[in-house]
Structure 1
């Protein structure tokens, strides 16, 4: 009778041919030394760089199997464990494996019911791991304490460049912990802190850090209830920050006052290229502030003002700015009640504007005729860029 230790190599290869990546990676390793050796020479295994196990609900026990495989694997660079309910125990297994694994660069453990203890396990390994560059840790429950563990690790970690901590209930206290490390961390370039209820106070902590941080280029603070006060803090930082290129403040209730603060900062800021102010209760007044800034700002290429309340009057302000602005290429004014009148203002501006190539006007009841005029103008601009 044959066993895995005695089956011919060719037959084992044929067995492997009929296994999916999950079985190949998690279930066929560490059975016996011979199988490990044969697996290491199997072409599919040798070229397996990305493993997607999301939504499999593997739990902590099977997360341990994944971790055991990671200890010896030398090809995998991306692992997605999103929505698997691995919890703190599973996070510990994965963290233990990362102490010796030297190839994994991207790890996604979003939505895994991981708390502050699991965050501590991951943070501990980040102090010594030098290969992981992207950590997706969103929609768990690490809280302010877990955020502190991650922040402490970032004081010495020099390889994490993208960190996602969205929807983790870190609050303003957690935001303070993260902010405290930003002035000295020189690796992190992308930070997602959306849906964390950081409020105006948390926004102030982040803003203070942005005054001295010189590496962060992308910041997501959407859905954090920062209000106009928080927008003022962020705007203050934008006046001196020279590295941030993308800022997402979607759904923060900043209103016209907050829009004015951001607009004032845009008069001097020369590095921000993408700004999302959608769903912020901005009316025609706030649109005028943004429009005034667009007349002189030469850096912004993408602006999202969708799902606000600018109306036809606000559209006219934006249109007036488009007559002289030569930097903006993408503009989203969807769901703003601008109607046919507001769309006509935009269409008129596009007669002279030659740089805008992407314009979103969904759910504005603008009518087919004006839509056609706008499409013609955009096509002209696109064709001009291709010449």
Structure 2
């Protein structure tokens, strides 16, 4: 029995959607329909709207890159108001804008089935984000909302942050590449203080600086649900690292902190190292490309001698050199919980490699190195 129908890149236009609409309107077996990278546009969405109104088995619909615009989003919204079975809708790169986001938001206040909504790359601004925030205060089923690479600023982030104080079902919220600003981050942090369900928050590439990091840190001291916090490629320095370290000392649920490519330096590494001495829940720490040097490496290595929960530590591209490698070699002779240590592209030579090799006689960690050949990763197992 056919349950998945993949029509990706078939150049389907209006006539094709007419045929699909007729075939799927009362179909009782197909659960997944993939129509990404076609040419459906808003005219063809009318037939898909009818599918959503009458079909009772379709659970996943992928319409990525179909140029449906805000008229198409409005028609989909009409279909979603009456649909109770669709759980996943992908509208990535469809230029729906604020008007389209408003239409979908209105539907979310009535829809009781959708759990995942992907709105990446849709030119949604603050107005659209405000509408989504209002919808989240009433919606009780959506668990994942992806808003990567839109035009959401601090006003839109404020609305979504306010929604977090009331919403009890959303578990994943993605703001990557959005410019949420200082006030936006503050409102998101305020929402996190009271929220008890969000487990993953992605704030990569959002130009967060030390002040915003402080707001998030204060939220971490109260939040008891967040598990993963993504802060890759922001502008957080050692001051912001200190604030986050303070949050980690009190937080008891965060397991993954993704902190790649910020500017914490060796001082920030010291603050995070001190936090690792007290934190008992963090299992993954990503600190690649943070200019911590051999001094910062020693602070973190010293912390590893006492920490009993961290499993994965990524320190690639940090210029720790042979001296830093020696520090981690010493730590590995005492630490018994770390399973993966990434020290690639750190200028480690023969001396540092030998120290690490000796440490592996006593430790079962997977060590990732790039020695004389760039991008060549060697895995050592004892």
User: What TM-score comes out, normalization by structure 2 length?
Assistant: 0.87
User: 1:29 and 1:80, CA in 2 relative to 1: closer, same or farther beyond 3 A?
Assistant: closer
- Alignment partners' CA distance in 2, 1:260 and 1:21: 50
Which residue matches 2:329? 347
User: Do residues 180 (structure 1) and 180 (structure 2) align?
Assistant: no
Residue equivalent to 2:371:
none
Closer/same/farther in 2, CA of residues 341 and 84 from structure 1, 3 Å limit: farther
2:261 to 261, 276, 279: 279
Match of 2:280 in 1: 298
What displacement does 1:20 show?
5.8
Q: 1:169 to 1:20 in 2, by over 3 A?
A: closer
Q: 1:266 aligns with which of 248, 260, 268?
A: 248
> Partners in 1 of 2:362 and 2:41 — Cα distance?
54
2:198 pairs with 1:225: no
Residue of structure 1 equivalent to 2:374: none
Task: After TM superposition, list the pairs within 5 Å mapping 1:328-347 onto structure 2.
Answer: 328-347=310-329
| Alignment root-mean-square deviation, CA | 2.6
> How do residues 76-95 of structure 1 correspond to structure 2 at under 5 angstroms?
76-95=58-77
Which residue of structure 1 lines up, in the alignment, with residue 380 of structure 2? none
Q: Which one has the bigger helix percentage?
A: 1
Q: Paired residue for 1:141?
A: 123
1:72 offset after TM fit, Å? 2.7
The Cα offsets for residues 60-96 of structure 1, whole Å up to 9 and x where unpaired, read as 2233333333333222211122222211111112212
Change (3 A) 1:55 1:344: farther
Q: Does the Cα contact within 8 Å between 2:341 and 2:366 map onto a contact in 1?
A: no
Larger Rg: 1
- Measured in 2, the distance between the counterparts of 1:225 and 1:89 equals 32
- Cα deviation for residue 277 of structure 1 reads 1.4
CA drift at 1:57: 4.0
3-state SS in 1 of match to 2:139: coil
The answer for unaligned runs of 5 or more in structure 1 is: 1-12, 41-45, 383-387
Matches within 5 A, 1:81-160: 81-160=63-142
Structure 2 CA distance for partners of 1:76 and 1:228, relative to 1, 3 Å:
same
Equivalent pair of 1:72/1:101 in contact (CA under 8 Å): yes
Q: 1:151 to 1:378 in 2, by over 3 A?
A: farther
Structure 1 residues 202 and 36: CA distance shift in structure 2, 3 A: closer
State the 4+ residue runs in structure 1 displaced beyond 4 angstroms: 19-27, 370-378
Aligned in 2, Cα 1:164/1:373: closer, same or farther, shift over 3 Å? farther
Evaluate the alpha carbon distance shift between residue 372 and residue 53 of structure 1 in structure 2; reply closer, same or farther with a 3 A threshold: farther
- 1:328 to partner: Cα distance: 0.2
Q: 1:64 aligns with which of 46, 58, 73?
A: 46
Structure 2 counterpart of 1:379? 364
Aligned mate of 2:237, from 227, 232, 255: 255
- Tell me what 1:49 maps to: 31
Structure 2 runs not aligned, ≥5 long: 368-382
